[in-house]
Structure 1
């Protein structure tokens, strides 16, 4: 195979994988390509995609954030209580995002200043805030939310769901910061070689903390969308979401070692996960087997990433 063609295929392997997956599923089940189903897939992908965009910032530094599912849960619960007690949609949106930022600061400071491994630190924060969510909700879902709030996760702008539009806006902002700002350049430099970045004058602790803040804010926003979409805030919300987010980032081509990747690739990875979930559901595949398939796809993505280096 021509070397330049091979390099192009490797560079765009995520897009090719998504196209092949869509073709295969559409052949197996014609229901996949209906407008209603495609809209449903995009709506389902939105929550994971926003979390995954935030996760990209963290993984680019060579870190990881296991607490995003718990952040989603506590932010969703706070959002639901706020809208029910005050009736203010603005407060119900702003307050949870502030909480997500606060948890991100905790993660960033503990990891950068405390010199604790990201896996251990965010695992502890995940457990703490899952417990906080249970205490805050008394272990019960918060439902009967107003229609004005539920419209955030269910409203259509023409034929496009509002959550998809929000995801696109988040993607554009994230892409701008990663490619057009000093913060983005520092983020890649930090992930490429932290010691070199520090010696070149970059405040690595500040950049690392900022990455976790972005991830926390993204998880907080996802909590609002997830809660408004189902009209209820569950203390169990977001369980396992960190795995889908990490999978989306890795499948999208971002290196777990840091310093390499993009949010465009992450969106493609999120779409692959979403299309795979939807296709398996349409084919009536047992949820138990779905876990096996998803795990195999993630493993293949990591192996392909290793082979391309």
Structure 2
């Protein structure tokens, strides 16, 4: 007679590490980068430099939160940098024309939402791949920004309230960083606690199955691009407020940094899996690398090489290791 015995359960620690391997790995990589740059530069851990890192990372984090939703649906938005540039330029033109800056803020949010809605309509309701639609948007929107500014930088003057959004501090903390953290916290709540967040994950896992159980799958898919447009509008205005000008050349390579932050944070390019905490850590890692390389007097162009390498490695880990049931130790029975 055969005797069956229960396999010994794995440790709780091993199961926890296996379940959160990607977030833990980016957290360790972030700490490693902090340590290396801290030891290599005496100014890295100064209060002024750390606050500067947070201020510069704010626009990337804001758009990365929205990009997390987009990539969770198995989509991508290559046009966010061009959206930021368009809003940046139009914002400066509107303020220079004499419009009150609070009105301009509302109009820019509407512009970002409209651009996102247009792209979302083509992707969701017309069935055109997101890569194609947003690649076209990358060119079209940057072209509009160039056309409106004729390639020149548009100065912004006489609006201290608007400048406060990009340069101000609150209790010693940069206002842009506070805005970014609030948006990141909202992203956490949306993904973990709301029906909409569950619908985004369901659409990314299997859009047809989500549609068949009664979810408004196409509307959800289109909505994430509206969110990306809104986030890009906020980022564009913060950059304009910080620099005191609007330019069609703003946010060059911005989409590369945003996608790198999201993928590095563990959100699956195949859809159906997201990590807002990973996105925050990924964004800060990208920002720390860029800042650290500058402090070490390394060419800023090298940052693009590092960012590209990070994307490649993150995608490799995403598809070859973590998405194939990666586990530490023995599984529980």
| TM-score past 0.5 threshold | yes
Deviation, 1:29, is 1.2
Q: TM-score, normalised by structure 1?
A: 0.95
Larger mean Cα displacement after TM superposition, 289-298 or 124-133: 289-298
Larger mean Cα displacement after TM superposition, 82-91 or 222-231: 82-91
Q: Deviation digits for residues 235-262 of structure 1, max 9, x if unmatched?
A: 1112211111000100111001111012
Q: Deviation digits for residues 189-222 of structure 1, max 9, x if unmatched?
A: 0001112111111111100111000000000000
- Residue 5 (structure 2) aligns with: none
Q: How does 1:45-124 map to 2 (within 5 A)?
A: 45-124=57-136
> Are 2:176 and 1:163 aligned?
yes
> Are 2:213 and 1:200 aligned?
yes
- Residue 4 (structure 1) aligns with: 15
Deviation, 1:172, is 1.8
Corresponding pairs, count: 309
Does the CA-based 8 Å contact 1:97-1:221 persist in structure 2? yes
- Residue 216 (structure 1) aligns with: 229
Please report the RMSD computed on the Cα atoms of aligned residues, expressed in angstroms.
1.6
Does the CA-based 8 Å contact 1:78-1:92 persist in structure 2? no
Deviation, 1:96, is 0.7
Deviation, 1:26, is 0.6
Partner of 2:44: helix, strand, or coil? helix
Q: Distance in 2 between matches of 1:50 and 1:111?
A: 22
> Are 2:29 and 1:17 aligned?
yes
Does the CA-based 8 Å contact 1:80-1:145 persist in structure 2? no
Deviation, 1:126, is 1.6
- Residue 4 (structure 2) aligns with: none
Name stretches of at least 5 consecutive residues in structure 2 with no aligned partner.
1-9, 324-333
Q: Distance in 2 between matches of 1:79 and 1:142?
A: 9
Deviation, 1:113, is 1.3
- Residue 45 (structure 2) aligns with: 33
- Residue 178 (structure 1) aligns with: 191
Partner of 2:147: helix, strand, or coil? helix
Name stretches of at least 5 consecutive residues in structure 1 with no aligned partner.
none
Pick aligned residue for 1:298 from 311, 322, 327 = 311
Q: Distance in 2 between matches of 1:162 and 1:154?
A: 7
Larger mean Cα displacement after TM superposition, 99-108 or 286-295: 286-295
- Residue 233 (structure 1) aligns with: 246
> Are 2:146 and 1:141 aligned?
no
Does the CA-based 8 Å contact 2:92-2:156 persist in structure 1? no
Deviation, 1:267, is 1.1
Does the CA-based 8 Å contact 1:73-1:223 persist in structure 2? yes
Q: TM-score, normalised by structure 2?
A: 0.89
Q: Distance in 1 between matches of 2:72 and 2:315?
A: 15
Deviation, 1:287, is 2.8
Q: Distance in 1 between matches of 2:127 and 2:193?
A: 30
Does the CA-based 8 Å contact 1:80-1:92 persist in structure 2? no
Q: 1:103–1:144: structure 2 CA closer, same or farther, 3 Å change rule?
A: closer
Q: 1:288–1:78: structure 2 CA closer, same or farther, 3 Å change rule?
A: closer
Deviation, 1:6, is 4.3
Deviation, 1:145, is 2.4
Please identify runs of 4+ aligned residues in structure 1 that moved more than 6 A: none
Pick aligned residue for 1:246 from 259, 280, 293 = 259
Deviation, 1:125, is 1.4
> Are 2:319 and 1:308 aligned?
no
